[in-house]
Amino acid sequence: MKVKIKEWHAVATWRWDMPEDEVCGICRVDFDGCCPNCKYPGDDCPLIVGKCHHSFHLHCILSWINQESAKGLCPMCRQKFEVAA
C-alpha cells in the first residue's frame, strides 16, 4: 500500500546548551526560563557566558554590571566580568 502525505506539521523543542537544572545566580530562574523582566525565553532573553565561565541571563548581569557598586566584577567569583569570546 502506498501512502501519500498531503500535509504535515513539524514540532520542535529547544533548550540552551547548558547543564539542566541550573539557574541564573542573580534571579534564580532556570537558564531555560527568562529573566524577571521578560515574558518569553529564547533570543529575547539570551544568556551570556563570562571568561570566568559563569553564566547569567544577559539582562540580569547587565543590571548588576551597570551600577557602580558592581565594580565590573562577576557576582560569583569577583573577577572582572568579561564576555567569553
Partner 1 sequence: MFAQKRLGKELSNIHKSLPPGISIASASDFSNWKMDIQVLDTNPLYADQIYRLNFKFSGSYPIEAPEVTFIKEDGRDIPMHPHIYSNGVICLDLLGTNWSPVQNVESVCMSIQSMLTSNTKNERPPGDETFVRSGYRSPRNINFVYDDNTV
Cell reading at 9: 506539521
Residues binding partner 1 (CB under 8 A)? 25-29, 36-37, 60, 63-64, 67, 69, 73, 75-76, 78
* Residue 6 or 51 with smaller CB distance to partner 1: 51
Helix (H, G, I), strand (E, B) or coil at 47: strand
Smaller CB distance to partner 1: residue 1 or 28? 28
Closest distance to partner 1 from the beta carbon of 81 (Å): 11
Separation between Cα atoms, residue 74 and residue 52, nearest integer Å? 8
Q: Provide the CA 31 distance to its chain's centre, in angstroms.
A: 5
